[in-house]
Each structure stands twice: as structure tokens, then as C-alpha cells.
Structure 1
Amino acid sequence: MTETRPHVLIVDDDPDIRRPLARFLEQHGFRTALAANGRELDAALGASHPDLIVLDVMMPGEDGLSICRRLRDRGGPPVLLLTARSDEIDRILGLELGADDYLPKPFNPRELVARVKAILRRAEALPRRRRQEAGVVRFDRWQFDLAQPELHGEDGETVALSSGEHALLVAFVVRAGLTLTRDQLLDLTRGREAQLFDRSIDNQVSRLRRKIEPDAQRPRLILTRWGSGYVFAAELTWLA
């Protein structure tokens, strides 16, 4: 029989946190796997495909922020960060690096379960990617390596992208042709707390248009669907 319970990977170097947390999640209908560090996380990802990762920020060796960054770069599953209550900068950095939510320690396990369920509901509601978030694509006059925050033009021009512009373009490219609402774009680019750090998705789209459109006042690559959101309408050629 196919296992249908959501699968959560818990990554924390403290066994007194990860083991009781695994038991609590299992009591509430989840499957769990455990990892104590980045190396064990990579091994776990090689053996299974978790629906969500609960990731501690402060770990020996590779820390949670570095892990979060590379998970985001390769299109990994949603991430819930566990942070020290006083480390506000870690929470902000984590969200900027692509975490979907955070929970300060110490926390109530019931709140963690509620946040896990909320993240999974949002992930389920998002349009499915047409491609993985990796590779090199050509569109219009640009060549774009999805892992790099820059565009290369046919004339040799290189255009740098901010972290927000890069995340937005990746979201558009891997879901080209699909209409994405503003809320969906917030979830795809910055996660639950995005509104605290972005003035608006509309401003991000405007900035990106100014960099990639031949005429930003008459866009033909990123189209507005009034009352719905935006759609990336460029014709794509995947090179890798």
C-alpha cells in the first residue's frame, strides 16, 4: 500500500530535540526521518524525498543558513527553520535565502505541527513546476543560468540581478506559461514572512521588467493578468 502521510526530515544536532520532535510529529500523522548535520541530510535526501525539512540554524560544521541556501538553489522541499529566540538576523537571512517559515526556540511542539501543516498546504496550492530549478535557458535576447544571479545578453552584456529579482525570475522560468498570483509569487520567492521585507511583488516585477524587457512600458515577457497576477510568456530554449 502506498504511504500517503507527509514525510518530514528533521535536521538538528541535538538528539534531545530531534528525537522527541519526531515522536510528536508521528503521533500527529507524519512520517519522519532524522539527520544530525548537513552530511546526514544529504544522505537522507539521496534515499528519499521528504515533503518538508525542519532545519536548525545553529549546527556544527555547515550551518542551517548555508544548507537552506543550497536547498533553495537546487529546488529542494520547503524549509522550516528553527532559530534561537534572540537571533533575529538569522531569521531574516533565512527568509531571504528561501526558508518558508521559522520558529524560535524554545517552541511548543503543537505550534510547530501547525506551521508544518500550513507550509504543506501552501506548497500543495502552488502551480507545479514545469522544470526543476536548475539548468541554463535562453529566452528573448538573454541566456540565464538559474543558479547564477545574472543574465547574459547576445551582445556580451551582463546584467546583475538582486536576490529578489533572481528568485522571481527563477519562479517565472520554471513555471513559464502559468499565471501566478501575487501571494503565490511571495511564497515562491520569500516564504510566509515575505511582506516584512519586500515592499511588494509589483515593485519586484517592475524592477525585473526594466532589466529584461526591450520596453518595460510595453512588456511582452512578463505579462500582467489583471485581477489574477503575472505570467512569463517568453519562448524558452533549454540548453542544459
Structure 2
Amino acid sequence: MTQSAKTILVVEDEPSLAIVLCEYLAQAGFQTHIIANGLDVIGWVKKHNPDLLILDLMLPNRDGLDIYRELRTFSQVPVVMATARVDEIDRLLGLELGADDYICKPYSPREVVARIKNVLRRTVEVTAQHGLRINDEQMKATFDGNELTLTPAEFRLLSFFNQHSGQVFNRDQLMQKIYADHRLVTDRTIDSHIKNLRKKLQDAAPDNEYIKSIYGVGYRFTL
């Protein structure tokens, strides 16, 4: 894929800032679209499937955190969160939301472009390793061209793991990612999903162990 094929959605209600940033992104070969109203974001993402979002936290009519949480119920598109307060970034990290990067305003558009390239590069590298391909829109995953037969919960689990390769997550965190409706399930349910997904990955690549148990903590997925 070329950079020119990638679309960046800039969710920002300061017109001058959004326009300048989009000019820098266009110079770097990206396509851009600006949304200023928080209520318009989810529908646009579902319709156009952008390659990355720059998501401001303070938006008219809907908070950026609410948008991010709903976004993660149906998509793993990379998100760079923007805030005007440094201490807000610390709070976001404490919430373990899993955003791909954070930037503090006022920021350098040139630096933002560099960060976006880095995030997209990481995303491509993670997805391309060992032949794993994930299509969130169609909820399909293939390994070396062979489709993996996954339940919806297993697919959401693999998609989340794939976006956060190398990170350790406990059962509660994984539960929230698998079940967006916050239903009550036991640790055994999560363990069962992990066991089944691990077996299907090992069937596709017998010489590798992609999901590892971290004693007393949870699980880590590594490609």
C-alpha cells in the first residue's frame, strides 16, 4: 500500500488547526477529512473506514473518550488522541484505553505527521508478520492465505491482540474487549476463548506459540 491510498480522519473543532494539519498531511501524501462535530464521527468511520484517526478529546456534542470507546466495539483502526493538557495524557494512560499514541496541543504539525507515519508503519509490520491478515470489516482472519475458522469472540480477541502485540492484558481487560455489552462472564469463559484461539493458531503454525500465559497477570500475544 502506498501512503497516497491512506486516509486520515482529523476530528478537531478548531478549524485553523485542522486545516494546517491537513495541509501537512496532504504534503506527505495522505488523503484527509475533517470532522468538527463529535456526533458525526462514528457514522463516517463506519461508512469510509479510514486508516487512522486523530481524535481530539474536547469536541462539541460528544466527548472524545465516548467516541473512542464506541469505536473499539467495531473497529481496531489506529487512533492518535489529542488533548490540550499534559496531565490529561497521564490520566488516559492510567485508563489503559489502548490508543496508539497521544499528542498535546499546541503541537507541531510536522511532528504529528511523523508520529502518524510511525503508527501506520507499526500497524503494517504487526499485521504482515508470519502471514497473519485481519479484515475487521468482514470479520475474517487468514494465516498464510488460509482462513481461520473463528467464533465472533475469538475474532475480536485476535484482532485486539494483533493491534497490541507484545502487551500483557489481564482477564478483565480482555473481557471488556470481547463483550462490548459488558455482560457478566467468568474467568473460565475467557480462559476457554484463549485456549480455543491458541489451538487454532497452533494448528495453522505448529512451531510457534503466539499466546503466552503470564503467571498471576494474564496473557500476552506476540507475533
Normalized against structure 2, the TM-score is what? Answer: 0.62
Specify the alignment match of 1:222 in structure 2. 198
CA contact under 8 A between 1:37 and 1:62: conserved in structure 2?
A: yes
**Cα deviation per residue 1:189-239 (whole Å; 9 max; x = unaligned)?**
4x8xx86xxxx35x669x98962347x9xx5653577765229xxxxxxxx
Q: Which amino acid aligns with 1:230?
A: I
Q: Which amino acid aligns with 1:128?
A: R
Specify the alignment match of 2:93 in structure 1. 92
Q: Which amino acid aligns with 1:129?
A: I
Q: Give, in angstroms, the shift of residue 26 of structure 1.
A: 0.6
- Superposition RMSD on alpha carbons, in Å? 3.8
Greater helix fraction, Structure 1 or Structure 2? 2
CA distance in 2, matches of 1:24, 1:59: 22
CA distance in 2, matches of 1:56, 1:63: 9
The alignment of Structure 1 onto Structure 2 pairs a total of residues equal to 176
Q: Give, in angstroms, the shift of residue 38 of structure 1.
A: 2.0
SS in 1 for 2:87: coil
Q: What is the correspondence of 1:228-239 to structure 2 with a 5 Å cutoff?
A: 228-230=209-211
Q: What is the correspondence of 1:197-208 to structure 2 with a 5 Å cutoff?
A: 200=168
Specify the alignment match of 2:106 in structure 1. 106
Q: What is the correspondence of 1:105-144 to structure 2 with a 5 Å cutoff?
A: 105-125=105-125, 126=127, 127-129=132-134, 132=137
Specify the alignment match of 1:170 in structure 2. 156
Q: Give, in angstroms, the shift of residue 112 of structure 1.
A: 0.8
Q: Which amino acid aligns with 1:35?
A: I
Q: Show structure 1 runs of 5+ residues with no match.
A: 135-143, 147-167, 175-183, 232-240
Q: Which amino acid aligns with 1:87?
A: E
Q: Give, in angstroms, the shift of residue 128 of structure 1.
A: 2.5
CA distance in 2, matches of 1:124, 1:80: 16
CA contact under 8 A between 1:33 and 1:44: conserved in structure 2?
A: no
Q: Which amino acid aligns with 1:222?
A: R
SS in 1 for 2:13: coil
Normalized against structure 1, the TM-score is what? Answer: 0.58
Specify the alignment match of 1:40 in structure 2. 40
Percent identity, aligned pairs only, is 31
**Cα deviation per residue 1:5-61 (whole Å; 9 max; x = unaligned)?**
311010011112111111111111111000002223245335522111111011132
CA distance in 1, matches of 2:86, 2:207: 41
Change (3 A) 1:133 1:107: farther
